[in-house]
Amino acid sequence: MGSFFNILQTAHRNAQKSILKRKYTEPVLYHGGPTFNLKARWYLYYKYEHPTLKDKHGNPLMVRQPNITMSINRYYKTKAERLQQFGVVKEVLSEMLKEGCSPYQERLNLGSKSMEYTSEAALDYAYSLKVAGLSETSIPDYRSRLNRFKKYLGTKNLLKKSILGISKQTVNEYLNEIAKASSARNRNNTRIVLSSLFGELEHNEIIPKNFVEDIKVSDTNSIRYQTYPLEVLEGLFEYMKENDPLLLLFIKFVSYNFLRPIEVCRLKVKDVSLTHKQIYFKAKNKLLKTKIIPDIVIKEIKHLDFSIQNNFLFTPNGVGPWDTKETYRRGYFTDRFKKLKEKYNKHLVEKGETLQLGGEYTIYSFRHTFITLLFRKFRKEYAYTETCDRLMLITGHSTLDALKSYLKDIDAELPEDYSGLLTLDI
């Protein structure tokens, strides 16, 4: 009996030593939680000792490996089937790991195609995938926010370590620092960029889940662009007609075609068809959209030089070439209007008027103003739903819900005088 237990103790000690030397953790099955949720994505996960990365103590870093699904979720729809299939895969994987198979053996021979990424390499890879679908205005914003995040990771000693070392808490703490240093809006915009990048990493199975999308959006004080009173609008248009007719034409594209300023800046001669009275432009959420050009605008542009197709419709001097980024083109006209507004305010003072146009009155405000004007004229003749249907064709909103939300934000519809309802019958 003593000999038997001596052998057992020796075997136990050897087994413990083997566990201590083990370069991996036993595979674990995630099965959708306590309820075995079949709508969730089931997978096997485990960690393996990285051949080069070290922790802060200099020990080999245990890195979580890509989730293993083997398409089982797609083909097996019951709890029993999935448990059986994942059980088989788990058993085979455990045996392979015991026999010394390493998930890095193949990867180390792949060089630049390695599936294991440091935080820096993974984020740069995600950006390289994302940048192809970004607009010219979004690329600098993404690059800037990514670089600042990478700098932050560097201060936390996470940049050169596995991307799996970045947690939801890491990103949350970074976003909170942004909110404290600047604003909730800046924090939310950074969250959007990081969520987009981590989404690419999840899609390419570099990380198991894009946890950034689960981080709450902070409440912000929305920027409110004030609509122009009609009596102010008439005087302002007259002032621009005398002092800056080119800027007035730019604003008429915003006002009468309901374009955003950046969309007007993108317009080239080839995007305008006087024959069909149409313009073709890149919008906010679509590659290309078409709108009619109302006669009120046709009369303003039919005398322009349309001979060179690649000329921009708006430059500092009118139709012509302009070799600069669209964000700078938009910024130019924004600044040009700001300067004109300052002169107009002085003009109002000289006339003895007290009204002053502050920062809430922008070029974008003209779009709000004329959509409101059009909505209220339609409402005199049509029901709310029909009004929205007709207006949607003109404004270019992609969905009816988007238009209704927009109309609510700009207070397009106001109630009639309700004084009669407030009288007290005493």
The HSE-up count of residue 263 (CA atoms within 13 Å, CB side) is 26
pLDDT at 416 over 80: no
Please say if the pLDDT value at position 114 is more than 50: no
Q: Pick from 46, 49, 133, 59: which is nearest to 93 by CA?
A: 46
Residue 219: pLDDT above 80? no
Question: Per-residue pLDDT averaged across 214-242, rounded?
Answer: 82
Q: What is the pLDDT of residues 19-32, one digit of tens each?
A: 446 788 999 999 98
Partners of 289 in the β-ladder: 281
Contact (CB, 8 A) for 40 and 33:
yes
| Angle value at C-alpha 340, between 242 and 308, nearest 5 degrees | 70
Of 203-207, 285-289, 304-308, which one has max mean pLDDT? 304-308
- Is a pLDDT exceeding 70 seen at residue 378? yes
Tokens of 410: 């700009």
Tokens of residue 374, six digits: 């059009």
Looking at residues 8-20, what average pLDDT do you find?
A: 55
DSSP-assigned beta bridge partners for residue 49: 62
3-state secondary structure of 230: helix
Q: Which two tokens stand for residue 173?
A: 């703490």
Q: How far is CA 196 from CA 130, 142, 161, 251, 323, in A?
A: 8, 10, 21, 34, 30
Strand pairing partners for 278? 273, 292
Q: Are strands 43-45 and 28-30 parallel, antiparallel or unpaired?
A: antiparallel
Q: DSSP letter at 40? A: S
What was the pLDDT predicted at 110? Answer: 33
Give dist(CA 140, CA 189) in Å, integer: 13
Higher pLDDT, 311 or 203: 311
Q: Tally helices (H) and strands (E) across the chain.
A: 16, 7
**pLDDT digit string, tens, across residues 152-198:** 999 999 898 888 788 889 999 999 999 999 888 899 999 999 999 99
Cβ(3)–Cβ(11) under 8 Å?
Answer: no
For 281, phi then psi, to 5°, come to -150, 160
Contacts of 62 (CB under 8 A, 6+ apart): 25, 47, 48, 49, 50
Buried b (16+ CB within 10 A) or exposed e, 48-87: bbbeebeeeeeeebbbbbbbbeeebbeebeeeeebeebbe
For residues 244 and 79, the answer to whether their CB atoms sit within 8 Å is: no
* Most confident range, picked from 58-67, 305-314, 398-407, 415-424: 305-314
CA dist., res. 317 & res. 320, Å (int): 8
For residue 311, CA distances in Å to 49, 270, 315 come to 59, 8, 9
Q: What are the residue ranges spanned by the domains of the chain?
A: 20-111, 117-214, 230-368
Confidence of residue 108 (pLDDT cuts 50, 70, 90): very low
CA distance 265 to 262: 5
Please give the structure tokens belonging to residue 383. 């029901």
What CATH architecture does domain 117-214 belong to? Orthogonal Bundle (1.10)
Six-digit token string for 221: 């004080």
Chain length of the chain: 426
CA–CA distance, 183 with 359 (Å, rounded to integer):
19
Identify the CA nearest to 53 among candidates 164, 191, 145.
Answer: 164
In this prediction, residue 225 has a pLDDT band, given cuts at 50, 70 and 90, of low
pLDDT at 118 over 80: yes
Spatial distance between the Cα atoms of 133 and 126, rounded to a whole number of angstroms: 12
Q: How does DSSP assign 132-169, residue by residue?
A: GG--TTHHHHHHHHHHHHHHHHHHTT-TTSBGGG--HH
Q: In the CATH scheme, what is the code of domain 230-368?
A: 1.10.443.10
Tell me what the pLDDT averaged over the chain comes to: 84
Q: pLDDT higher for 162 or 425?
A: 162
Q: Does residue 251 or residue 8 have the better pLDDT?
A: 251
Q: Give 297-336 pLDDT, tens digit per residue.
A: 999 999 999 999 999 999 999 999 999 888 889 999 999 9
Task: Report the pLDDT averaged over residues 84-109.
Answer: 74
The span from the CA of 109 to the CA of 96, in Å, is 19
Cβ proximity of 341 and 357 under 8 Å: yes
**Higher-confidence position of 56 and 201:** 201
Categorize the per-residue pLDDT at 7 as very low, low, confident or very high, splitting at 50, 70 and 90: low
Confidence of residue 276 (pLDDT cuts 50, 70, 90): very high
Written as six digits, the tokens of 168 are: 């939801």
Percent of the chain clearing pLDDT 70 (strictly above): 88
Cα distance between residue 32 and residue 324, in whole Å: 52
